[in-house]
Chains A and B, each alone.
Chain A
């Protein structure tokens, strides 16, 4: 049976209890005008077990989450000991998939002894007989609840990323980048613990890049792609010096560097050591060492030497208000680094700090763009900058993202 028909197979009935968290990501495409933001799908599912009590709670949680923030606390458990789950048989697998998800903080995740090399970059040195791989595919697919079809897609991509990219000389044996039991464990953690798929395979397809990521580094978001286009529309951008502050995986820095001319440079800073490491990896992977300089440190601090010489400053700093952190979608709240998300009380701590430093960092006529938490933050910042420093900046405006949320603030230094 091929992969396609497998996808179409009715799923085992054992999965009829669905975690609302796995509700199909409302797959309707909405036109850019007239948007519907009421359907926040991701909320903490207290349980997907079969017990009646859990069912009732689950519904309650869903109701609650519609009006207020999703709840987490009653179901928070002590983090599990970081032992890799055993490979599962299909019968017990169903059961284990239905046990309540275990919230994990980044700290616990870090304990898991795992090769820091992203899966998709490891050498394909693990021979696996075709039937074993097929059996794994079946077991893994059986764990997918019928209302989480995106997990089928993830399974397909996981197998693609874990397989040797060159043609297989022997179709009876596949060469994988990890032993099968490790893949089983990874898959289980993805389905059950809501560990982001991008951490599982170690990459995110972002713009035309395959950006390497790992635990401890923010997974670049699709909204952020627009920042690169904005840079590209600045007159003479190709020969300028640019700063990407809080570069994380280095996604923005690499994408911008690839558009630059021979004299263009990007200085990318981050205070997180993991981020610096991963950003270096991505810069190397795209051969941008001559264009991108990664510097370890806080915001503008490592950039004293280029002060006043920058054609542009780009940043996607942490902007989520601290109070909103517990309500985040599990993939984000349990697994991504708080350092990359937490923007302080109003979410504006870092953004305001960046605004303060802007005018001395930019050269006259220089450009800046920041990503924000959306509408209110952008409006506030645009207003703030043009009022407080009206003599220093012009053309300051909030810019919409593809969901019609005012996601960015941009402007020019006079």
Chain B
């Protein structure tokens, strides 16, 4: 009855209001993540040093009660799940069928929620809300800052999905209303809005693939040649090249941090830094052993050879408070020395620096820069990330499958096979995704492999919590 009383102009106002909100201003619905697992809840004490930190601008807005998340409904009480469960046929996007659009969007929202681990997200944010209520919270500003930042991020994700759902419901209501009123113009507009949502939803699905704690960060990619001498070293160089091209295609900045060339060809090992949004989120899909089968250009007998290269990917964390604290006194800094009397006797442009973190035995080397100063700074950055990674693994105490270091990657862990002979194919052994054009893959066309892996790994486990 009420809906019947809506005049056309009211509908138009409502519609324009919807439209002004419709396009999501943020390309990625997912803001930077933090190491959520590092939060141990209300009783967690932080190191004494943290307490002495001056109070930073506290983001107190989240110390409100737990968010009450009610699933948006249509005027007749349908939820997204209900729509998805209706089993409406999903037709091509070009078909003007509102049920088809609505069903497609509802499916997407379900997928997005799954990828975001929705139930866990809600649960977590409830817990954080409790923590944020504690009266003594701000006595430890670092901890408090961490909690409220995480809560802010969680709420951002939740809100973004809820808004999307809400929008779907409103468009459905509007469309039904237009039909009842026989308002063709409004019907067409609502139909178009639903179709837009459908396209939007596809993008959100992809973005939801990158909602891991460290996904938004830049990263280091390390490649190491397997056994087999020159063959594998050449292969390792090809793999490194593949990542450089891939990163450049995505518009990331690439810098070589460390490179140990093979005696004759290729590399024994190399590290590059890949800078740009979500570099780690994508590149982590590449962790593992890559296998090549080809007729060796180094074998005069033209025999077939199999070579291996191991790939490790390490996130470069941006959030200073979650980083491993390095004591200068725990470091040993070793510089390149040519031997000989040195000083005025010698001319060299060699300025490699290696830093050893004595307590953990972790090392980092940089030789690519032109001065010891820069090499030291670069090596420190690598060392910091390696230690951060150890810390993440330690704190999470779970299998940090995406942050393994090279030494942890077992040569049995093959993830992809590149065959150049006797047939041509690249096949991902985890997803079974394959293409028959190895050249384009080796030139950096990796995105399909990456998306396939990300979606298969996130969508397969049904445990939503």
Knowing A157-B370, A205-B374, the reply to whether A25 touches B342 (Cβ < 8 A) is: no
Q: Contact flags (1/0) for B223-255 with A, using CB distance below 8 Å?
A: 000000000001001001100100000000000
CB atoms of A41 and B332 under 8 A apart: no
CB atoms of A373 and B371 under 8 A apart: no
List 20 additional contacts besides A32-B334, A40-B339; criterion CB under 8 Å: A4-B241, A8-B262, A9-B265, A29-B335, A30-B334, A37-B341, A146-B264, A157-B370, A205-B371, A205-B373, A205-B374, A207-B373, A218-B344, A222-B348, A319-B344, A329-B346, A336-B347, A341-B344, A374-B341, A374-B343
CB atoms of B338 and A41 under 8 A apart: yes
Q: Contact flags (1/0) for A280-300 with B, using CB distance below 8 Å?
A: 000000000000000000000
CB atoms of B339 and A225 under 8 A apart: no
Of the residues A2, A9, A197, A223, contact of B342 by C-beta under 8 Å = A223
Using Cβ atoms and an 8 Å threshold, which residues of chain A touch B373?
205, 207-208, 225
Using Cβ atoms and an 8 Å threshold, which residues of chain A touch B261?
7-8, 149
Knowing A10-B265, A27-B336, A30-B334, the reply to whether A154 touches B344 (Cβ < 8 A) is: no
Closest to A39 in B: B339
Using Cβ atoms and an 8 Å threshold, which residues of chain B touch A405?
341-343
CB atoms of B332 and A32 under 8 A apart: yes
Using Cβ atoms and an 8 Å threshold, which residues of chain B touch A10?
264-265
Interface check A18, CB cutoff 8 A: no
Of the residues A35, A42, A198, contact of B337 by C-beta under 8 Å = A35
Of the residues B339, B354, B371, contact of A38 by C-beta under 8 Å = B339
CB atoms of A208 and B371 under 8 A apart: yes
Interface check B384, CB cutoff 8 A: no
CB atoms of B344 and A318 under 8 A apart: yes
Interface check B351, CB cutoff 8 A: yes
Using Cβ atoms and an 8 Å threshold, which residues of chain A touch B262?
8
CB atoms of B340 and A207 under 8 A apart: no
Q: Contact flags (1/0) for B298-340 with A, using CB distance below 8 Å?
A: 0000000000000000000000000000000000111111111
Using Cβ atoms and an 8 Å threshold, which residues of chain A touch B346?
42, 221, 329, 332
Closest to B240 in A: A4
Closest to A373 in B: B343
CB atoms of B354 and A29 under 8 A apart: yes
Interface check B267, CB cutoff 8 A: yes
Using Cβ atoms and an 8 Å threshold, which residues of chain A touch B352?
27, 29
CB atoms of B342 and A374 under 8 A apart: yes
Using Cβ atoms and an 8 Å threshold, which residues of chain A touch B337?
29-30, 35, 402-403
Interface check A214, CB cutoff 8 A: no
Interface check A126, CB cutoff 8 A: no
Q: Min CB distance, B259 to chain A, in Å?
A: 9
Knowing A41-B340, A401-B342, the reply to whether A2 touches B241 (Cβ < 8 A) is: yes
Q: Contact flags (1/0) for A318-341 with B, using CB distance below 8 Å?
A: 111000100011011000100011
CB atoms of B241 and A26 under 8 A apart: no
Using Cβ atoms and an 8 Å threshold, which residues of chain A touch B342?
221, 223, 374, 401, 403, 405, 407
Q: Min CB distance, A142 to chain B, in Å?
A: 15
Interface check B43, CB cutoff 8 A: no
* Assembled-state Cα–Cα distance A150/B347 (Å): 12
Interface check A196, CB cutoff 8 A: yes
Q: Which A residues from 2 to 26 make CB contacts under 8 A with B? A: 2, 4-5, 7-10, 25-26
Q: Min CB distance, A23 to chain B, in Å?
A: 11
Interface check B372, CB cutoff 8 A: yes
Interface check A391, CB cutoff 8 A: no
Of the residues B266, B340, B350, contact of A40 by C-beta under 8 Å = B340
Closest to A328 in B: B345
* Assembled-state Cα–Cα distance A157/B350 (Å): 13
Using Cβ atoms and an 8 Å threshold, which residues of chain B touch A328?
345
Greatest chain B CB density within 10 A among A27, A332, A371 is at: A27
CB atoms of A25 and B338 under 8 A apart: yes
Q: Min CB distance, B300 to chain A, in Å?
A: 13
Interface check A113, CB cutoff 8 A: no
Q: Contact flags (1/0) for A177-209 with B, using CB distance below 8 Å?
A: 000000000000000000011100000011110
Closest to B233 in A: A8
Closest to A151 in B: B349
CB atoms of A154 and B345 under 8 A apart: no
Using Cβ atoms and an 8 Å threshold, which residues of chain B touch A149?
261
CB atoms of A219 and B347 under 8 A apart: yes
Knowing A2-B241, A31-B334, A38-B339, the reply to whether A154 touches B349 (Cβ < 8 A) is: yes
Q: Min CB distance, B237 to chain A, in Å?
A: 5
Interface check B365, CB cutoff 8 A: yes
* Assembled-state Cα–Cα distance A32/B354 (Å): 11
Knowing A4-B241, A153-B349, A225-B372, the reply to whether A373 touches B341 (Cβ < 8 A) is: yes
Task: Please name the 9 residue pairs, one residue from A and one from B, whose CB atoms are nearest each other, closest first.
Answer: A205-B371, A205-B370, A331-B347, A40-B340, A39-B339, A403-B337, A402-B335, A8-B237, A29-B354
* Assembled-state Cα–Cα distance A205/B344 (Å): 16
Knowing A25-B338, A30-B334, A37-B339, the reply to whether A8 touches B347 (Cβ < 8 A) is: no
CB atoms of B365 and A29 under 8 A apart: yes
CB atoms of A27 and B340 under 8 A apart: no
Q: Which A residues from 21 to 74 make CB contacts under 8 A with B? A: 25-27, 29-32, 35-42
Q: Min CB distance, A211 to chain B, in Å?
A: 10
* Assembled-state Cα–Cα distance A30/B338 (Å): 10
**28 A-B pairs (CB sep. < 8 Å):** A2-B241, A4-B237, A4-B241, A4-B244, A5-B241, A27-B350, A29-B337, A29-B354, A30-B334, A31-B332, A35-B337, A42-B338, A42-B340, A42-B346, A146-B264, A150-B349, A154-B349, A197-B349, A222-B351, A223-B342, A224-B343, A328-B345, A329-B346, A336-B347, A374-B342, A402-B335, A403-B335, A405-B341
* Assembled-state Cα–Cα distance A329/B321 (Å): 49
